[in-house]
Every structure is written in C-alpha cells, then in structure tokens.
Amino acid sequence: MSLPIVYHPDYMAPLRTGHRFPMSKYGNLRAHLVRQGLLPETGGYLAPAPASLSQVAAAQGWDYADRAFRLSLTAAEVREIGLPQSEAVLRRARLASAGTALAARLALEHGVAVNLAGGSHHAGPGRGAGFCVFNDVAIAARTLLDEGQVSRILVVDCDVHQGDGTAAIFAEEPAVFTLSLHAEKNYPVRKQTSDIDIPLPDGLKDKPYLEVLREALTPLWDQVRPDIVFYNAGVDPHEADRLGRLSLSDAGLAARDDYVLASARMRGIPVVGVIGGGYGPEPDRIAARHALMVAAAARHAA
C-alpha cells in the first residue's frame, strides 16, 4: 500500500516579507517528497475541503469559532496568534484542520496516513495562539469521537513547545490521552497540564531524548489502548531551529519518527502524522526535516 498523503496548495497563505512563520515550507515539503519519489510531479495527494464552523466549534467553542470565521477577532487575539486576520489565513486554518481529520479517516482505513500541515497545538478553548488559529488535532479527534469512529485516542506531541491547547481542550475528556515532550524553558510561559508532561532541559542530544521518549511511550500502549494515535512530529527540537532549545540532529529526528510510527504499527494501531513546528530563515531545509516523518510513515505503510 502506498502512503495516503493529504495536502492542499492553500496550506500556504500570503504573509509579509520577513515574517517569522516560514509559510513556504509547505510547498517546499511537497517538492521534497516529489524528489524522493513519495509524490508524483502532479497530484498524488488527497485534498481536503475546509473544516466547517460546527467542527471547529465542537473542539474550541462556538463564540471563538464564529468570530474567527467572521474575521472578527480582537486586535489582542490576533496579536496572540501572530498571523494576520485574513480570508487566506482563515482558509488555510480550516483546510489544515480538515486535512488532519481526513488523514485520520485514512489512517483508520489504511493503518497510517499523513497531513502535510497540522500540529497547531497552541490553539485552545476559546482562543488561538502561537501561529495556531485552530487546533487541527483536537478538531479531528473530536470529530472521530462524536461520530463514534473511535473510543480511545492517544496524542503523542514531540514538538519542542508544549501542546498546551490540546491539553486544555481535552483536560476533562477521558477518551483522549495527551503526552507532550517539550523544552521546559520554551514557549508557552504558562504551561497547561497534559496527561503526561515531560519538560526537557535545553541542549538535550539525540540519545538521551530517545531514551526519554521510549520510557514515556512504552507503557502507554497497554495503559491507554488507543484506537488511533495522532503524532505531532514537529522538527523544532532540531539543533538549527530558530525557536527550539533542544539539540537533535537530522538522525535524531529520523530515529524519533521511526520509533513512534513503528511502535504504533507493530501493535496494529492506526497512526496519523502531522508536521508541527519548524522555524528559521531557510524553509527548504526545514521542509527536508519534515520530510523525515513522511518517509518513515511511507516505510511503515507497506
């Protein structure tokens, strides 16, 4: 079986020159996958339709979702998100959220699938934050639960920043178990409480990071018994990332991705990968790091 890949050209929205968010990395990622033979020159992916207001509201609340859809967020809310309030950014957020939901459905059918966006884990109940307008993983998880597609979900968040929005959304939801490995001293300043939080010291290298990940994840398969895993494969733990504080190498990221995907698939658990964060002035290099997770997913899709 070939790997189901979800993508949309409108995952990229116009931003001002010099903006800290490397929006072009999504197109760069697709180009990398074409060069690696994981996508053809044209097509080869499934494109989502935008997420509906009701889907977003089910995860993040009606008031916030409605005002976001109407482009009526306050100036303070827009500053907290860090992206402009525009039709293009709104469409991008809706598409990325729907893309993760589509990838989740494909993972349930095929065992593994990836969204070439997503991991917007700072958006929480009634708010967006940290370049995240809507929380795509929470929206997809809520959709699957409400439809009765699954009854237990595990979120494995390996972005360098805590998955605070996801933790807050599911704080009172026993059907969703959240694990976050993140740099202790990084954004956000005020952390939320995941089911398991593992704050890591600055400068942690590949070997100790992977040891911590294995120790945290191994018991959860039997403890949680998930019907599906959402894996946030942020590459901002990389040693060259502008916003990260950890020091993983390319090989460390690749080993991390392979371990999470292999651990789920060897147990027959569907897993959906989202790309999460990755920051810096060279979007093509960031995209190459994101491609590591997609390549690992392709290996475990066979």
For residues 162-170, average pLDDT: 98
Domain span including residue 282: 5-301
Q: What is the CATH number of the domain that holds 117?
A: 3.40.800.20
Domain count of the fold of the chain: 1
Catalytic residue among 32, 121, 122, 290: 122
For residues 21-41, average pLDDT: 96
Whole-prediction pTM: 0.97
- pLDDT-based confidence at 241, cuts 50/70/90? very high
The side-by-side arrangement of strands in the sheet containing 176-183 is: 5-6, 112-115, 271-274, 228-232, 153-157, 176-183, 196-200
For residues 168-186, average pLDDT: 97
Pairwise CA distance, residues 288 & 302, whole Å: 22
Residue 1 has pLDDT above 70, yes or no: no
pLDDT of residue 23: 95
Residue 15 CA to its chain's centroid (Å): 21
pLDDT of residue 244: 86
For residues 247-251, average pLDDT: 96
- pLDDT-based confidence at 295, cuts 50/70/90? very high
For residues 237-260, average pLDDT: 96
**More confident call, 302 vs 8:** 8
> Rounded to 5 degrees, what are φ and ψ at 99?
-65, -40
Closest to 40 measured CA to CA, from 14, 74, 5? 5
Residue 302 has pLDDT above 80, yes or no: no
Mean pLDDT of the chain: 97
Q: What is the pLDDT of residues 139-160, one digit of tens each?
A: 999 999 999 999 999 999 999 9
Q: What is the pLDDT of residues 62-101, one digit of tens each?
A: 999 999 999 999 999 999 999 999 999 999 999 999 999 9
For residues 33-44, average pLDDT: 95
Residue 266 has pLDDT above 90, yes or no: yes
Active site residue 122: yes
> Rounded to 5 degrees, what are φ and ψ at 123?
-70, 130
